[in-house]
Amino acid sequence: MVKAEAVHKSFGRLEVLRGIDLEVSPKEVMCMIGPSGSGKSTFLRCINHLEKIDAGRLSVDGELVGYRQRGDKLYELGDAEVCQKRSEIGMVFQRFNLFPHMTALDNVTEAPIRVKGESRAGAVERGRKLLERVGLAEKVDAYPNQLSGGQQQRVAIARALAMQPKLMLFDEPTSALDPELVGEVLDVMRGLAEDGMTMVVVTHEMGFAREVGDSLVFMDGGVVVEAGKPRDVLSNPQHERTRSFLSKVL
């Protein structure tokens, strides 16, 4: 579903990604861990072309991200095509980014109606089902400021699912939440994994990575230091840098 080959990304002189090689299979849950500034979130943003890569190749479901190849040359896609491709990839951010002037239901139905041209009736029906799925059936008419952080994040997940994505990206979805609200968001993500959603999750929740992840990637300094089965990496890391990091967070 996702294939990265020697992906590089710099911001000015700062090289944030230094040759990332990764593959995510359909229905796989890949968890990414590592210290702040290691490139995890930047890599996630490259997958849906919120950031353009500087070198290498990145593809989703067999198609290059942000580019089309003709012969041996790459041509950047226009904004409309990029947006169309991006609509197939759901992304949930650290901050919930809900529209404050819209109800939970309106937040969930806005993109399917405006971007995909769905009928309002169809979008509302599916939006209600999605809010029920994330445990918020009774909050359809609530505004973001009437919801807890955990509830807002669950609305954000429902909003991403409303576009019927083939891939879900989570950028530290629980790090802005109070500790007692983390579980309700992780439960929703656990349910998505059980339903077979392909997911790439940047997280500090090691328990979730161990229980739900199919693979675990440790990044540091813009490179993949270690990757493998979550239980193997967490219980028996092979690299000193991984051991040092895990000793501080486990």
82 pLDDT tier (thresholds 50, 70, 90): confident
Residue 152 pLDDT more than 90?
Answer: yes
74 pLDDT tier (thresholds 50, 70, 90): confident
Residue 73 pLDDT more than 90?
Answer: no
In tens, the pLDDT along 16-25 reads 999 999 999 9
Q: To which residue do tokens 């942000």 refer?
A: 66
Write down the pTM of the prediction.
0.94
Residue 154 pLDDT more than 90?
Answer: yes
Beta strands in the chain (DSSP E): 2-11, 14-24, 29-33, 55-60, 63-64, 67-70, 73-76, 89-92, 167-171, 199-202, 215-220, 223-228
Residue range 111-134: average pLDDT? Answer: 95
Q: What is the pLDDT of residue 4?
A: 97
Q: Pairing relation of β-strands 2-11 and 67-70? A: unpaired
Euclidean distance between CA atoms 151 and 108, whole angstroms: 13
Could you tell me the CA-to-CA distances from 127 to 52, 165, 197 in Å, in that order?
31, 14, 18
Residue 85 pLDDT more than 90?
Answer: no
Euclidean distance between CA atoms 208 and 33, whole angstroms: 12
Residue range 236-240: average pLDDT? Answer: 96
Residue 66 pLDDT more than 90?
Answer: no
214 pLDDT tier (thresholds 50, 70, 90): very high
Residue range 93-110: average pLDDT? Answer: 95
Positive or negative, the CA dihedral 168, 172, 174, 179 is positive
Q: To which residue do tokens 């040359």 refer?
A: 73
Q: What is the pLDDT of residue 75?
A: 82
Euclidean distance between CA atoms 110 and 112, whole angstroms: 6
Average pLDDT in the chain: 94
Q: What is the pLDDT of residue 233?
A: 96
Euclidean distance between CA atoms 36 and 64, whole angstroms: 28
Residue 87 pLDDT more than 90?
Answer: no
